[in-house]
Amino acid sequence: MEILAYGVLTDERPLLEQAFAGRHELRCLDVFLNRDTAPLAAGHPVVSSSVNAVLDAGTLGALAAGGTKLIAQRSTGFNNIDLEAAAELGLTVARVSHYSPYAVAEHAWALALAVNRRLARATVRTREFDFRLDGLLGRDIHGMTVGVVGTGKIGACFARIAAGFGTELLGWDLAPNPDCLELGMAYTELPELLGRSDLISLHVPLVPATHHLIDGAALARMKDDAILVNSSRGGLVDSAALVETLRAGRLSGVGLDVYEEETGVFFTDRSVRGISDDTLARLVTFPQVLVTSHQAYFTSTAVGQIIDATARNIDDFAAGRRNENTLVPRE
């Protein structure tokens, strides 16, 4: 089958080409899929999209008009896809239901450790031969109370690492994870977790009920010197409220791998043009904030698993089969 893959990153391309060699005809683009770029897929029955594609009704309509039958998204999240419109257009939509949870959990800890020990600031200083320690004081993770918001596969991995540091574990989820209970995690209501935790890491999906889960009121409940990490979905955090919290001199560290308005910005080079998003521009100016560009998943292990799952989704579609990754059509 002829496949057009959008949003292919430089390090991802050889892995994609290797996975599809001898199986399907693959064409890779570095542009992202949206209404403007959808016409490029004309004549391709299969389109593979990246995590920041904008698959609204307009984009889907353009794809369907060009002959596309399958959209194989190379990510777990699908809040960017209008599934009802896809169903009405007769499109099949598949995702990657899971990949290495260690990749995301380890990156979340990398953010937590980096903001706690001021590594970004220290790196900039030493490159300028400034070897002072002023303003670089951190805290021991050992002995901290760590709150894990969402204790699925990734949250459980994060908690396992936290236990290795010798922390007290608090969790919040719809139901306790037995693996986390074995680590000694105590499940609490979210307000209590926010108020007691020294470090809070978010690992819940973005659904209507979790949109701006961390809003101004939630931020106000946190300790003044708490560390907040979000490696899940940007929409979990009210970014404007976070800026106001930081302006008030609260929170000792914030690590963000996602941002609620990241589409069209993350994965692009804005070093010359700059950005028009005042909230994001303000966030990155705070010395205790570290922002990475949705790279938590970006390990060779995880990307390889994503590509393997995507290839299987396409093979199954070609053979007329459904699998656990199929979002549309529903059973």
Integer Cα distance of 307 and 320 in angstroms: 20
Residue 291's SS3 state is: strand
Residue carrying the six token digits 């918001």: 149
Catalytic residues: 233, 262, 294
Report the DSSP pairing between strands 92-94 and 326-328: antiparallel
CA 156 to chain centre: 16
Name 49's Cβ contacts closer than 8 Å, sequence gap at least 6. 6, 7, 33, 55, 71, 72, 73, 74
Neighbours of 276 (CB within 10 A): 10
Please say whether the beta carbons of 93 and 81 come within 8 A: yes
Please say whether the beta carbons of 82 and 64 come within 8 A: no
| Bridge partners (DSSP) listed for residue 70 | 46, 92
| Bridge partners (DSSP) listed for residue 170 | 147, 186
In the sheet that holds 25-28, the strands lie side by side as 25-28, 2-5, 46-49, 70-73, 92-94, 326-328
316, containing H or E segment: helix 300-318
Please say whether the beta carbons of 277 and 263 come within 8 A: no
Integer Cα distance of 132 and 121 in angstroms: 11
Calculate Rg over the CA atoms of the chain. Answer: 21
